[in-house]
Amino acid sequence: MLVNAYGAHAGDKPLEPLRITRRAPGAHDVQIDIAYCGICHSDLHQVRAEWAGTRFPCVPGHEIVGRVSAVGAQVSGFKVGDLVGIGCIVDSCKHCPECEAGLENYCDGMVGTYNGPTPDEPGWTLGGYSQKIVVHERFVLRVRHPVEQLAAVAPLLCAGITTYSPLRHWNTGPGKKVGVVGIGGLGHMGIKLAHAMGAHVVAFTTSDSKREAARALGADEVVVSRNTGEMAAHAKSFDLILDTVAAPHDLDVFLGLLKRDGTLTLVGAPPTPHPAPGVFNLIFKRRAIAGSLIGGIPETQEMLDFCAEHGIVADIELIRADQINIAYERMLKSDIKYRFVIDSATLAA
């Protein structure tokens, strides 16, 4: 079936209206009428070919929420009308140790929601800046938030799970001091989630203007990372620092804030590497630098349920599809508190 979408034909071209094909639902497929789709900084990296391997036309979008509009004959977990979400993964090998552990995000055969290999037209996946999507039921998430919050639930499908998973993995909870670097789409969710898990949360920002707003998100303290005096006050004190920044930057200033055995976990994915950190900053306190990629499907469901239970959604600005290119420019200037979400109804025109 043909549906309306928004995408780009080349890395240096703006996004524009497109018509794309969705497969008819197979036996295990769920067809979703997309209501909203968040705009992740990864969308911009991919569609502008800042990362290697973008295939065009590219239709980004992996923070998808909507309603089930058809199900295949073998689908048992979902029915027409259900509120659901699709995140960054639409397929995986389903039998490797990672898939069996529910860590499809680390499967070598993981298929991303856009730009991933698929037998469907045109040979790579096309994402959520579109009216409908068809996905194997294993990768469909149940949304339990009230329907009025649906637009603000969309960013949980990437920004939410990408911060929830490392926070859980590194045992965030009462008595732990956790830093979140960069208060954008990911960072603002990291602050809300770490706060809800009971940690002492410190937000690091380059934007003086976000100081008050970050406290409202749940940060116990806010540090403007350019101010060396403010940074020094936190030396050797953190259990975990989650770095969500989308550009290369100095990691040493954050490593020095970790206590013994503390971890700096990178989730930001800048197109060019960070400058290499000093070895002495690592060996003297047995500090670690780690990375984390989104999260598996069971943990994504756990995160959605945790957010529904704690009343957590993203802070969003709802836009029309024809405002996507403007939204990208504003995101690059950190001029958004904190996530743009596309109203998919505006794709109908």
- Should residue 293 be labelled a site residue for ligand NAP when binding is judged by CB under 6 A? yes
Task: Select from 72-80, 238-246, 251-259, 322-330 the region that touches ligand NAP (CB under 6 A).
Answer: 238-246
CA angle 300, 210, 335 (to 5 degrees): 80
We find the least distance from the C-beta atom of residue 310 to ligand NAP, in angstroms, to be 20
- Should residue 206 be labelled a site residue for ligand NAP when binding is judged by CB under 6 A? yes
We find the least distance from the C-beta atom of residue 182 to ligand NAP, in angstroms, to be 3
Q: Which CB atom, from 177 or from 210, has the smaller least distance to ligand NAP? A: 210
Residue nearest to Zn ion (CB): 40
Tell me which of ligand NAP, Zn ion, none is bound by residue 155, counting a contact when its beta carbon lies within the kind-specific cut-off of 5 to 8 angstroms: none
We find the least distance from the C-beta atom of residue 63 to Zn ion, in angstroms, to be 6
- What CA–CA distance (Å, rounded) separates 140 from 129? 17
- Should residue 92 be labelled a site residue for ligand NAP when binding is judged by CB under 6 A? no
- What CA–CA distance (Å, rounded) separates 113 from 135? 9
Where does this chain bind Zn ion (CB under 5 A)?
Answer: 40, 42, 158
- Should residue 222 be labelled a site residue for ligand NAP when binding is judged by CB under 6 A? no
| 67, 137 contact by CB (below 8 A) | no
Length of the chain: 349
| Largest Cα–Cα separation, the chain | 63
- Should residue 247 be labelled a site residue for ligand NAP when binding is judged by CB under 6 A? yes
- Should residue 7 be labelled a site residue for ligand NAP when binding is judged by CB under 6 A? no
Q: Which of 5, 37, 83, 186 binds ligand NAP (CB under 6 A)?
A: 186
Q: Which CB atom, from 44 or from 75, has the smaller least distance to ligand NAP? A: 44
Residues 6 or more apart whose Cβ sits within 8 Å of residue 224: 205, 206, 207, 208, 211, 230
- Ramachandran angles phi, psi of 212, nearest 5°: -70, -40
Q: Which CB atom, from 34 or from 294, has the smaller least distance to ligand NAP? A: 294
Tell me which of ligand NAP, Zn ion, none is bound by residue 249, counting a contact when its beta carbon lies within the kind-specific cut-off of 5 to 8 angstroms: ligand NAP
- Should residue 205 be labelled a site residue for ligand NAP when binding is judged by CB under 6 A? yes
We find the least distance from the C-beta atom of residue 28 to ligand NAP, in angstroms, to be 26
Terminal CA-to-CA distance of the chain, rounded, Å? 17
Instruction: Write out the two tokens for 275.
Output: 């400058």
The residues that bridge with 179 in the sheet, in sequence order, are 202, 241
Closest listed residue to residue 114, CA positions, set 16, 39, 190: 39
Q: Which CB atom, from 113 or from 131, has the smaller least distance to ligand NAP? A: 113
Task: Select from 69-77, 244-252, 272-280, 315-323 the region that touches ligand NAP (CB under 6 A).
Answer: 244-252
Residues 6 or more apart whose Cβ sits within 8 Å of residue 258: 236, 238, 239, 241, 264, 285, 287
Identify the H or E element spanning 43: helix 41-47
- Should residue 269 be labelled a site residue for ligand NAP when binding is judged by CB under 6 A? yes
Q: Which CB atom, from 202 or from 341, has the smaller least distance to Zn ion? A: 341
We find the least distance from the C-beta atom of residue 211 to Zn ion, in angstroms, to be 26
Q: Which of 126, 158, 241, 255 binds ligand NAP (CB under 6 A)?
A: 158
Closest listed residue to residue 197, CA positions, set 218, 215, 172, 177: 172
Closest listed residue to residue 292, CA positions, set 206, 170, 199, 174: 170
For residue 119, what are the CA distances in angstroms to 23, 56, 133, 140, 189?
A: 10, 16, 15, 19, 34
- What CA–CA distance (Å, rounded) separates 40 from 257? 28
- Should residue 42 be labelled a site residue for ligand NAP when binding is judged by CB under 6 A? yes
Q: Which of 60, 116, 182, 296 binds ligand NAP (CB under 6 A)?
A: 182
Residues within the interface to ligand NAP (CB under 6 A):
40-42, 45, 158-159, 162, 182-187, 205-207, 210, 244-247, 249, 267-270, 292-294, 331, 334
